[in-house]
Structure 1
Amino acid sequence: MVSRRMSIQQKILALLLGLALPPLVLAGWLGLSALDRARETAVDTGASALRDQAEQVLLTRAADKARFYDLGLNAVEQQVGAVATYATTRYRSGPFELGPERVWVAPAPSPALLARHSQDVAFAQQMIRMLQSSVAANGLVSIGYIALETSGVIAFNDDGVIDALLEIQPFDPRERPWYLAAREQGGIVWTNTYVDAHTKLLATTCAQPIYDAQGNFVGVVAFDLLLQTIQQDLLALDVGEAGYAMLIDEAGDVIVQPDLEAGDSPWNRPFRSENLLASSSAELRMVAEAMLDQSQTYGLAMLNDQEQPAYIAYAPIPTAGWHVALVIPAAEVTEPAYLTSQMIVQRQAQFRNQLIGLIFSLAAIISVLGLVLSFSFTRRIDVVRQGVQAIARGHLQERIPPVGNDELGELATAFNRMGRKLAEKIQKLEENAQQLAALNEVSNELKGILDLNQLLERIPAAICERFAFDRAVVYLVEDDHLRVVSAWFGPEGLTQAHQFKLVANSHPLLLEGSTIEADVIRNGKAVIVDNPWNHPGVEQHKQAISASDAYVQVPIFGREGRAIGLLSADCQLSERKIGVEDATRLLTFASMVGLTIENVQLFSDLERQVAQRTQELRAALEVAQLADQRKSDFLASLSHELRTPLNAIIGFSTVILDEIDGPLSPPQREDLTSINRNGRFLLYLINELLDLARIEAGHMVLEIAPTDLTEVIDDAVDAAQGLVRERSVQILQNIPSDLPNVAADGNRVRQILLNLLSNAVKFTERGSIIVSATVLDEVNDQCELQRMVVVRVSDTGIGIPAERLEEVFQEFVQIHGQRSRLSGTGLGLAIARKLVEAQAGRIWVESAPGRGSTFSFSLPLATPVATTSLNPIA
């Protein structure tokens, strides 16, 4: 008869259950009985009274909160009205002076827009201080602003808003809902909920239009209220843990509730929130209809909220047409009856005292019996613990002595078995770590070899040195066969290795053949050959020279997983048996070798191509430089040769036109005038070619000196007036009286201005050409700020397409085709660019089709000590 032994776990469970279960069941029964009686008493006596009190409190809180917000919103309306009245009076008292304050001009502020709408900008700047004081006086208002109709100018009480608008531009206040509502209503309005462009939060706006003395619409004054501010105030209401408050507008839309956020709604699209009139709950729709009924003011109703009965109390906010609604679950109304009942407190105190006494009694009994029971197996546990600690300290050869046949004995046996396994694993890990270290050393060594032949010669020697092989051979794939590229048969086997290489390559191993090598390439697997003398896949002529009794062969893989060769190694001299571990190590080494071989091949090919390409580019550069120099010399020589007869033609035709040699008939005068005009135009073209040739040849010298830019601009504008004498075009100047001198060549600056003015006249049919100048800070090539004078030539001409702005300063480029070919060669702007850059400045253009063009160039300010220098243009 086999007796069933009782385990330690069973003994402990039997003891604890036998001693603790009866008292715990008794204590639980007493406690539950007392709690049931107390709960029934509290519910019967207090639930009804609490419901009546809660309904009255909810109505009172809703009415108080509605009156509070009505006063607050009314105060906002009064502030908006006061600012609007002040703005109307102030607007009629213009004109205004520009100030330093920042304002916004739609679609985005720029110097041109600010200058164009200077009066609106100045008026908006005058209003900023009034907006700041008004907003500071009301905690509900987040921001105040005034927007104007004609210019899209808008001023804020906080100029930080403009930085935010710059990130989302374009922004036009005349398209915002508060502006449209105020303009359409003609009086003060409260807007629907929308996403604020500045904060990306939900907001509502109180807005009022302003008008001029003739009653014409001028703009809108508006104050924003972030709904988040109201939401935080509503959430502060004491409506219980599950209760909440919300605001509903006159259309039934929820504008404030705990979980209402802007989310991903864009600022420039209408925001849609929940509409109670369209709710799926019939009860909620009825409450919303009663709430929005003008004949009712306050109300209280019961409905199902999230499938639970709840109270909803509401009250109106007349100023904005909104309603405050408070929602609280009915269960929270009666919950205090269970929490405050004195009888429950007494029963709980009695139950607690009884339970404490039982726990102490059980603890004493369990402690005594636990000490007696644990003594029987404490000694054996100590033995197991000491053995486990020895294993944990790394003494894997330690063994735990037998401690019995129960769970402790099985545990000791399991730990002994674990110690043996850990010792075996650690030994194997150490061997693998040594192998990885060897692989890493070989890899680092081979990576440093950039010559392919040297690398191939080193690989078989490294295999023998690092992996305990005696001989090794490297094969590489060439076309449809394998070729031995290197072999290492030991320091004393150099001759045999050379003979093996010659014999193996004399009979190529075809990739489609039946040899072991071909099979390794095709299958991509390592092979250990232990009977090469009788194996059908071994080439016997190669076997005869190697005389190997066993060897291993592994494929060499490249980057794309394609076999590019194989490694073969044996232990012929040491007669060591080749195992699976040898094949695994050699296969890992082959994977690394394949990448190294391909890297060196790519490096060799790249080095050769770079050298060849460098030589070709150097020859081409010399030819191009010679051709460019000859072209420049030819243009300079030809221009000089053509100017002499042209000056004679122009001079003699001028003398004849002055009738020094006698009177002319009308046909003769017309012919001579045409000769003189075309001769001058041809001379102008030759001068442009000559200037370009001088610049490219490095023969033009600039006389850099302090230059009065105002005088140069006046001279250039006077000279250009003759170009617009018979056209509907005006040439105007906007030059500051205190414009400082620049470090430049005055004659060349005049030439730059004449080229720009001529170009502007050429493409401007009507309108104006404005020459302006200002002082700005620019970052130079050394990344330092430098004071520069920027000169701008702006026209109202046909403009330039955006995709061709980079081409206008190139030589012989004419953007508008036939139109520009009638009066130029396409060299004027190219010469201007070279002259500006030679004087340490830069030139650029801003333009759009149909909107005219603005050509700008900068020149450095003259130093305090006036010095003259000659700078040749290279």
Structure 2
Amino acid sequence: MNAIRSSIQLKILLLLLGLALPPLIVVGWLGLSSLHIARETAVNEGTDALRQQATASLQQRATDKAQFYDAALIGVQQQVEAVAGYALERYESSGATNNRERVWVAPRPTDELLRRYAPQVTYVRQIIPILRTMVANNPLVNIGYIALEEGGVIAFDDEAVIDQLLTLEAFDPRVRPWYTEARAAGTTVWTAPYIDANTGLLATTCARPLYDRQGQFIGVVAFDLLLNTIQQDLLTVDVGSNGYAFLVNANGDVVVRPDMQAVGRWDQPYRTENLLNAANADLRTVAERMVARQSGVQLIQEQGQVSYVAYAPITTAGWSVALVIPADEIDEPAIATGARLSESQSRLWNQLVATLLLIIMLISLLGLLLSLSFTNRISVLREGVRAVAAGDLSQRLPPAGNDEIGQLVAAFNQMTDTLQSKIAELEENARQLATLNAVSNELKSILSWPVLLETIPKLVCERFGFDRAVLYLVDGDVLRAVSASFSPGNEWQAQQFLAVANANPLRIDGGSVEADVVRSRKAIIIDNPWEHPRVDKAKQAISASRSYVQAPIFGRNDTVIGIISADYKLSQRPVQARDAAQLLTFASMVGLTIENVQLYNELERQVAQRTEELRAALERAQLADRRKSDFLASISHELRTPLNAIIGFSTVLLDDTEQPLTPTQREDVQSINRNGRFLLHLINELLDLARIEAGHLNLELGSVDLCQVTAEVCDTVQTLLRNRPVTLRNALPMVLPDVVADSDRLRQILFNLLSNAIKFTERGTITVSAQVLDEVNEDGKLCRYVAVSVSDTGIGIPHERQQDIFGEFVQIHGRRSRLGGTGLGLAITRKLVEAQGGRIWVDSIPGIGSTFTFTLPVAQPAFTTEPDEANVTTL
């Protein structure tokens, strides 16, 4: 009975009973907690419900507004497309009309322009009645019009617009945003906001391009919508006193917002805010989702205020509508309800706090009295624990009775005994690990295969205390002894053992102890090898070991690649299990080192062999390339001699006035002369390419007058434009600095670029221009260059092929050009430009034209115009 009374378990029971006495207090506490939870739940659920209802309402309003605008814009777009269809029908019929209403001819209508473009004026006047009808039926549309590419002719549904245009500077519809965007898109478009030339207000336009049956661009039909009409509609949206609404387009630009004003000139691009570049990260996220055609509700923080943004896409125009309302207007009712509940609970909370303080005082007094009975013994136990923690494992506590504390003291003394033995074992393991780590580092530094094989058995003896060690490696189906260490002075005995062991190699599938080690993958200790039935007698006779251990060596993929054997021959002590575990750990570590050195040596051999093969192949390739270049240069030179004779004789026949040729003969001789010259041009290109690749092309660099050379080349190529609707313009500035170049090669560069432009330009203009610019060279220095550009209005080059045109034998439009070729002209041009210290590139739009630009360095004032030996560059 006394033991029960003195037990800690009984004392804890008394303490728990003392805490359980006031059940009323516990019930009150639980009730107050329930009230607190109910209040929090009510506030949270109320707030969440209001937020969900508000966000759902916002999302629905945004969706409804988007659908409303979508339907309205669809109607406008359908009207534009209907007028476009009618306009195409009238274009094909080309009927006459008595309509004499005013139209506009860019840049300003005059009698001469009206006569020049009379068919276009007559045509657009036929469209005015349907424009008026369509605009009158749609209150959103401010004005409708049709504009033509030819002459910049434009007609409006209201001819009073022309009076407004007369007050402006020269007005050309072909450069207005609605015209250029529709022409570029090739389909119906909605433009970004711009300032209307007629009203001076912000407007957006639905525009559709017109194409005839041959796919040729005719003009654009367009309807204008003034954005202040949509602004007035957005101001009526119910978004609270501090809310607002706005529209953005597919690029993230703000199209409509209540505070948006037309600032700027009608002929300058209107700069509106782009929300994708907004400083507010939340607003950028909303803009990205709106641009991605998504709908939803997002909580954002802007200018210190948290707001909800509901957004939805307007499919027709690629826009999105957004409604913004402050979060306070949604959360305020729930917050007020929570405040009333908190006030009611605070009164109950004060009452409970007073009661709890009284209970705490009583419990503290009872706990103090109970703890005095066992704190002294716990203090003794604490001091013992501190001594052990400080490293004194010899510390033992005196007996402390039969209760739980006494049992804890006995367990503590048992724990210290166990810790002493475990720490001693850990110290021994740490020593072994340190030895293994040192051995591993030593082996990692060895890359020679013979040195590694010799080192492994030596390390077994030196670092792990064995007297002798032998290393076996798997070689096909047998084990071969590759190295041995029999202690200093016994090297001859080690060599003799290796010779005996390898005289009759042990098979892996045989009945020897070594084969058992490979198959079992475990270390084996042989205590009496003289009588062991699976020990090889010849090896035992030469080793005379009384006890030894053999451990498998594991390589990659956990395969056995060999074994290592060790004994204590000199000390004559038997091998223990601990020795076997130590050797097995070493064998597991050394396996990867063996394979790594094998791979390294094999890789070195393969790299050396491959390097020699690549060197020989490179020499053969270089020889073949030089022979090819020399052959091209030789054969091209040999072909030029007979071709020059053919061209010369045919020219003499054509110019002979004493014995004139018949028309048939003249046509044949002209064909011979023309094709001979063309073939000579092709051979010259091949010869130039061969010279460049063979390094035989000399450049005589000097100070060259670019204007003079350009004028000479333009005069030369004028003959190629005879009887063709193509104009060649020399637009070089009057004052242009000299360049550092080879004048003959500069003529060749300009001739190649102009010939290329003539080939692919059926009609239009070819322009040669130049400008001085500064560029940073490869050394990081700022240098001055002259950039020469050759522009044409030809068929253009696809973007994906613009990087290929400077390659050899490449013809992007070979079948569409007027003349054939080798595809070498631009390749030679690029090489010549780069050889003279410049660079060349192309900018092209299919169907619009191409611009080839190359640069040449500006000649310094001290640069002489007469080339000397120092200015000759050899390629």
1:392 CA displacement: 0.9
Q: Does 1:870 align with 2:867?
A: no
| Residue aligning to 2:522 | 525
1:618-653 deviations in Å (ceiling 9; x for gaps): 233333333333443444444444444544443444
Alpha-carbon distance in structure 2 between the residues aligned to 1:371 and 1:789: 98
The code of the aligned residue for 2:874 comes to I
Question: Which deviates more, 445-454 or 573-582?
Answer: 573-582
**Number of paired residues?**
693
SS at match of 2:558: coil
- Cα distance change of structure 1 residues 25 and 686 upon mapping to structure 2, 3 Å threshold: closer
Q: 1:481 aligns with which of 462, 478, 481?
A: 478
| Residue aligning to 2:621 | 624
- Cα distance change of structure 1 residues 106 and 595 upon mapping to structure 2, 3 Å threshold: farther
Aligned-pair Cα RMSD in Å = 5.6
Q: Does 1:453 align with 2:450?
A: yes
Q: Does 1:547 align with 2:544?
A: yes
The code of the aligned residue for 1:565 comes to G
- Cα distance change of structure 1 residues 361 and 441 upon mapping to structure 2, 3 Å threshold: closer
Alpha-carbon distance in structure 2 between the residues aligned to 1:603 and 1:336: 78
| Residue aligning to 1:292 | none
Q: Is the 8 A contact 1:188 1:208 kept in 2?
A: no
Alpha-carbon distance in structure 2 between the residues aligned to 1:750 and 1:189: 66
| Residue aligning to 1:4 | 4
Alpha-carbon distance in structure 1 between the residues aligned to 2:324 and 2:798: 53
Q: Is the 8 A contact 2:814 2:820 kept in 1?
A: no
Alpha-carbon distance in structure 1 between the residues aligned to 2:290 and 2:580: 64
1:197 CA displacement: 6.0
Question: Which deviates more, 610-619 or 863-872?
Answer: 863-872
SS at match of 2:701: strand
- Cα distance change of structure 1 residues 372 and 846 upon mapping to structure 2, 3 Å threshold: same
The code of the aligned residue for 1:626 comes to L
| Residue aligning to 1:424 | 421
The code of the aligned residue for 1:539 comes to D
Alpha-carbon distance in structure 1 between the residues aligned to 2:496 and 2:770: 87
| Residue aligning to 2:669 | 672
| Residue aligning to 1:406 | 403
| Residue aligning to 1:271 | 295
Question: Which deviates more, 827-836 or 180-189?
Answer: 180-189
Q: Does 1:389 align with 2:389?
A: no
SS at match of 1:491: coil
SS at match of 2:6: coil
1:653-700 deviations in Å (ceiling 9; x for gaps): 434433266544434433433333333233323322332233233332
| Residue aligning to 1:14 | 14
Alpha-carbon distance in structure 1 between the residues aligned to 2:31 and 2:698: 112
Alpha-carbon distance in structure 2 between the residues aligned to 1:361 and 1:27: 14
| Residue aligning to 1:93 | 168
Question: Which deviates more, 346-355 or 744-753?
Answer: 346-355
| Residue aligning to 2:436 | 439
- Cα distance change of structure 1 residues 646 and 481 upon mapping to structure 2, 3 Å threshold: same
| Residue aligning to 2:717 | 720
Question: Which deviates more, 658-667 or 695-704?
Answer: 658-667
1:507 CA displacement: 1.6
- Cα distance change of structure 1 residues 401 and 199 upon mapping to structure 2, 3 Å threshold: farther
The code of the aligned residue for 2:551 comes to V
1:431-460 deviations in Å (ceiling 9; x for gaps): 222222222222222222222122111111
| Residue aligning to 1:589 | 586
Q: 2:493 aligns with which of 473, 491, 496?
A: 496
1:391 CA displacement: 0.8
SS at match of 2:482: strand
The code of the aligned residue for 2:601 comes to S
Alpha-carbon distance in structure 2 between the residues aligned to 1:514 and 1:104: 95
Alpha-carbon distance in structure 1 between the residues aligned to 2:857 and 2:832: 13
1:188-232 deviations in Å (ceiling 9; x for gaps): 6659988876779x998569999xxxxx9x999988999x99999
| Residue aligning to 2:753 | 756
| Residue aligning to 1:696 | 693
Alpha-carbon distance in structure 2 between the residues aligned to 1:673 and 1:21: 126
Q: Which structure 1 residue ranges, 5 or more long, are not aligned? A: 38-54, 56-61, 67-79, 98-102, 114-119, 132-144, 153-178, 211-215, 233-255, 275-318
SS at match of 1:866: coil
1:403-446 deviations in Å (ceiling 9; x for gaps): 33323322322332332333333323322222222222222222
Alpha-carbon distance in structure 2 between the residues aligned to 1:378 and 1:34: 37
The code of the aligned residue for 2:808 comes to E
SS at match of 1:4: helix
1:298-325 deviations in Å (ceiling 9; x for gaps): xxxxxxxxxxxxxxxxxxxxx9999999
1:785 CA displacement: 5.7
The code of the aligned residue for 1:397 comes to S
Q: Is the 8 A contact 1:380 1:403 kept in 2?
A: yes
1:491 CA displacement: 1.8
1:765 CA displacement: 4.2
Q: Which structure 2 residue ranges, 5 or more long, are not aligned? A: 36-49, 51-56, 62-139, 143-160, 185-190, 210-222, 238-244, 299-320
Alpha-carbon distance in structure 2 between the residues aligned to 1:859 and 1:568: 78
Alpha-carbon distance in structure 2 between the residues aligned to 1:590 and 1:701: 70
1:774-807 deviations in Å (ceiling 9; x for gaps): 5556553335665544444444555556665554
- Cα distance change of structure 1 residues 28 and 777 upon mapping to structure 2, 3 Å threshold: same
- Cα distance change of structure 1 residues 679 and 457 upon mapping to structure 2, 3 Å threshold: same
Q: 2:466 aligns with which of 465, 469, 474?
A: 469
SS at match of 1:450: coil
1:501 CA displacement: 1.6
Q: Is the 8 A contact 2:203 2:225 kept in 1?
A: no
Alpha-carbon distance in structure 2 between the residues aligned to 1:685 and 1:495: 82
- TM-score, normalised via structure 2 length: 0.65
Describe how 1:788-803 pairs up with structure 2 within 5 A: 788-797=785-794
| Residue aligning to 2:563 | 566
- Cα distance change of structure 1 residues 663 and 537 upon mapping to structure 2, 3 Å threshold: same
Describe how 1:164-313 pairs up with structure 2 within 5 A: 190=234, 265=289, 267-271=291-295
1:855 CA displacement: 3.7
SS at match of 2:750: helix
Q: Is the 8 A contact 1:475 1:485 kept in 2?
A: yes
| Residue aligning to 2:777 | 780
Q: Is the 8 A contact 1:396 1:419 kept in 2?
A: yes
1:36 CA displacement: 13
Alpha-carbon distance in structure 2 between the residues aligned to 1:374 and 1:268: 70
Q: Is the 8 A contact 2:759 2:818 kept in 1?
A: no
Alpha-carbon distance in structure 1 between the residues aligned to 2:604 and 2:524: 37
1:832 CA displacement: 1.3
Percent of pairs identical after alignment? 52
SS at match of 1:492: coil
Alpha-carbon distance in structure 2 between the residues aligned to 1:760 and 1:425: 91
- Cα distance change of structure 1 residues 33 and 501 upon mapping to structure 2, 3 Å threshold: closer
Describe how 1:365-384 pairs up with structure 2 within 5 A: 366-367=364-365, 374-384=371-381
Q: Is the 8 A contact 1:194 1:267 kept in 2?
A: no
| Residue aligning to 1:50 | none
The code of the aligned residue for 2:14 comes to A
1:589 CA displacement: 2.6
- TM-score, normalised via structure 1 length: 0.65
The code of the aligned residue for 1:607 comes to E
Q: Is the 8 A contact 2:178 2:205 kept in 1?
A: no
Alpha-carbon distance in structure 1 between the residues aligned to 2:791 and 2:393: 90
Question: Which deviates more, 577-586 or 737-746?
Answer: 737-746
1:550 CA displacement: 2.9
1:383-407 deviations in Å (ceiling 9; x for gaps): 2222111111111222222233323
- Cα distance change of structure 1 residues 95 and 403 upon mapping to structure 2, 3 Å threshold: farther
Alpha-carbon distance in structure 1 between the residues aligned to 2:13 and 2:693: 103
